[in-house]
Amino acid sequence: MSTLVQAGAHPAPWFRRDGGLQAYAEVFERMRAFTEARTADTPDELWLVEHPPVFTQGLAGKAEHVLLAGDIPVVQSNRGGQVTYHGPGQVVAYPLVDLRRLGIYVKEYVFRLEAALIQTLEIFGVVGFRVPSAPGVYVNLADPFNLGLPAGPRQDVFEGLGKIAALGIKVSNHCTYHGLSLNVAMDLEPFVRINPCGYAGLKTVDLATLGVRAEPQAVADVLAERLGHHLGHSSNPVPFAF
């Protein structure tokens, strides 16, 4: 899409806030308040965080997709999608972007987020790809380094695949919040307590499972640069303060 090149050609600064480990509910309320208060002149921001263990339900979330929450809290959210898990070792990125100012609609915004994720994975040697009607980024479990979609007939769309990145967004008055998560090196056990994104049996993986050794901060830096490219921004780091 030619607009992707245009978005990255003359980047405008946005504020990048690196928050480290932050409680999900607090960040949720902060970005909702930020979005409600922003004006046409408010600079866009990118928030990069990790969350303590938490299951989050999107607006389409169904209680039956939480199989066994156990000691992990379940938080209702106003993002799109269904249930997912956040925990340490996962990079979570929240782009707070004015789509009207950028000149794009929601469908292209999602495409750009996924493009940034796929290119980030490529830098770490992993081939990621989209699955139609299932937002996020996936890998071929048989060979995540050289192959795309598994070849041959499959019983279902996710056969042979593992999900490595999830998306869930909210758009209010043309402005985005919530965002995306990329699994780097985390405890994946909580994912078996849910039907990830509403899909029973969907396998979830991280870079560490695929044999890629990377620090979450290093992955976050690459992802931030790729998001900036696709959303027309260069980074201007500022402290993340509540």
| Reported pTM | 0.90
Q: What is the pLDDT of residue 154?
A: 61
If phi > 0 it is left, if psi is from -120 to 50 it is alpha, else beta; for residue 31 that is alpha
User: Rounded to whole angstroms, how far apart are CA atoms 158 and 145?
Assistant: 18
Residues 205/80, Cβ–Cβ less than 8 Å: no
Residues of the chain with pLDDT under 70: 1-11, 149, 151-155, 236-242
Q: What is the pLDDT of residue 197?
A: 78
Give the model confidence (pLDDT) of 88-106 as tens digits. Answer: 999 999 999 999 999 999 9
Q: Which residues contact 153 (CB under 8 A, 6 or more apart)?
A: none
Instruction: Name the nearest CA neighbour of 201 among 143, 142, 153, 155.
Output: 155
User: Rounded to whole angstroms, how far apart are CA atoms 20 and 80?
Assistant: 24
Residues 3/108, Cβ–Cβ less than 8 Å: yes
Residues annotated as catalytic are 197
